[in-house]
Structure 1
């Protein structure tokens, strides 16, 4: 039996933070129904990879779900939602509170229909009236948190090109949803689970924020070099690039031995992690000279022998083909209509030994399960036909 078997989720989420939260619940057995716009919602078609235009991130964050299409702007569409709510445990929606309220998906409206409902609603900036209606995406959270300032070149801030804040917010939402479901077992009551891209981004940047608050260092970007320990940088080898990270005295001692530079242990510039970070440019230059005469395979093998964390800087193609990545069981291939090859979905990032998650269903096409879901909710064939004729589904 799956952990969340018997739990029904209505997923109104868009893009990543909401949909990936719902996907994680589905991986552990929840019956997740994605509510698409008629014709397919906008997040379905970002970075298209199939003949029908479905996007890469859409496929990753919508596995294990069923899809119905529904016109939420119509009263008939909202009536369908209210009927589906009667057999629903969790509603997921990552939209500004104003939008959620306008669609009748705010917590007070939902609990009138289903008193023990759980609403998981992430937003850009949180629920405070001063900020709740502002719109924002992953990159905005990264930029406002201080992270972008510390990344890249001193005169050219750079954000991460992967949506770290969106996915991290989804993980927080999944955790909050599980907490609410657990608490409901004893109280019998639902509640609203909240999260925001901004607070997630600030959490990811919290070490730098606390350091600045207490020490006022006004740190600037150091490209890929860590300012707080070292050597920690990205280094060019004969056939590409690698990353290596040295933290703590024991690891630094092993690194000096590998470099053939034992005298560095007695150099006061490298007395502890903080000093090694402060003089990290010197250490990076030594490591760069060492790397320049070695291939990626040679350098990484020596780092592994010295028990120093290191890895290749992979292109996306190299990441797909990396033997370590593949051996980790990272990918789950699924067939999808219109895809030229199997879609390599990344497996659930958390595992349980006895009640393991699974990707058992490919991502749905738009409205693929509309009739099935409506029949389960008690709609007769004639009623479904009328809804389709009127453009509600």
Structure 2
């Protein structure tokens, strides 16, 4: 592991090493995005108000302002406290942005303009700056300043209605909009940096959560809408059926999925119903889609006849994709994740033993790394201010 607990943080090794990011984001979307950039080697400076990011106070903690939620989204960053209500601190932020390759914020456009942190102004000061932001809606729309959180976008994008339970729409029990849009923002920043390498010029990057989630949800569900004939139906039937769920076995639950004709034939043999492969209702993909409720019901009845371990063995032997249904406690001790060192344990200098998840992407020559512990509020304020002073002194004429 790149983090050295004895001698302090190692130098970042990822593909973005040498890139500086000024991070003026809070909550989930922005911090997830900038943590990815930090994992990839960027020097991420997290700018916080005097009270800090609210996520510092959500979840279990050993000390104030260092909650589990915050620790999980803010590694590989340095923290500086600036009160943007004070003119001197606003000047410090502007000076910091002047040293950066990337500026990321999660403010509404009107708030960014009031603080003179809008793209029009900052791009005049640095034509190479990548100016990145995310919000509920597009910056050029009538909803540009509407507030938006994960629940709001889950509802507006159709996700909550699609995820019905007993006829009632419900939210997914995860902040999927924030996290997915954070990943999109991070990848968009990386693409903008690549474009700058070719052109020498920065640009503005904006991710609208509503657009991103509708695009995400509708890849398979736009259906008849793709042909501009929504009357043919919106929604992929195989995914919408209530029978699409983990199968109950004699002692627990199992997941399995057959997709190709060959996989279905092998599955029919595994459940002792080989004749179904010749049934015109189930022999071809198009027919299976039309009769998916009945087909899933047949599979469900068969799976309930034996134990999970017996089905795992039988389905694996038949080369049918399958797996057990694990809860979060199971996942935390999962054999595959343990083999690959996904959950990594460190001794934080103030918080004691903490567990961090490994970066999701691997690179053969520029490995991502965890090289900085999640910071205490304002932990690096003096260090960063001294760097700015040294930079000013270096640039001033003798």
TM-score normalised by length of structure 2: 0.86
Please say if 1:216 is aligned against 2:231: yes
Contact 1:9–1:33 at 8 Å: present in 2 too? yes
Please say if 1:173 is aligned against 2:185: yes
Q: 1:19 Cα deviation (Å)?
A: 1.2
Secondary structure (helix, strand or coil) at the match of 2:162 reads coil
Task: Give the gaps of 5 or more residues in structure 1.
Answer: 381-393
Please say if 1:364 is aligned against 2:375: yes
Contact 1:232–1:245 at 8 Å: present in 2 too? no
Secondary structure (helix, strand or coil) at the match of 1:307 reads coil
Please say if 1:131 is aligned against 2:140: no
Contact 1:137–1:197 at 8 Å: present in 2 too? no
Q: Give 1:121's match in structure 2, choosing from 124, 127, 133.
A: 133
C-alpha separation in 2, matches of 1:339 and 1:318: 25
Contact 2:345–2:353 at 8 Å: present in 1 too? no
Map of 2:45 onto structure 1: 33
Contact 1:227–1:278 at 8 Å: present in 2 too? no
Q: Give 1:13's match in structure 2, choosing from 9, 25, 36.
A: 25
Please say if 1:91 is aligned against 2:70: no
Map of 1:290 onto structure 2: 302
Q: 1:77 Cα deviation (Å)?
A: 1.0
Q: 1:49 Cα deviation (Å)?
A: 3.7
C-alpha separation in 1, matches of 2:390 and 2:83: 17
Q: 1:30 Cα deviation (Å)?
A: 0.7
Q: 1:366 Cα deviation (Å)?
A: 0.7
* CA deviation vs aligned residue, 1:273-318 (integer Å, no higher than 9, x gap): 3432332332333322333243333322322222222222222111
Map of 1:384 onto structure 2: none
Alignment length, in residue pairs?
376
Map of 1:146 onto structure 2: 158
C-alpha separation in 1, matches of 2:133 and 2:251: 46
C-alpha separation in 2, matches of 1:10 and 1:217: 48
Contact 1:125–1:134 at 8 Å: present in 2 too? yes
Map of 1:65 onto structure 2: 77
Q: 1:7 to 1:366 in 2, by over 3 A?
A: same
Q: Give 1:354's match in structure 2, choosing from 347, 351, 365.
A: 365
Q: 1:239 to 1:363 in 2, by over 3 A?
A: farther
Secondary structure (helix, strand or coil) at the match of 1:52 reads coil
Contact 2:221–2:235 at 8 Å: present in 1 too? no
Task: Give the gaps of 5 or more residues in structure 2.
Answer: 1-12, 392-398
Contact 2:27–2:53 at 8 Å: present in 1 too? no
Map of 1:376 onto structure 2: 387
Q: Give 1:2's match in structure 2, choosing from 14, 36, 57.
A: 14
Aligned ranges 1:247-266 → 2 under 5 Å:
247-266=259-278
Q: 1:287 to 1:138 in 2, by over 3 A?
A: same
C-alpha separation in 2, matches of 1:184 and 1:138: 31
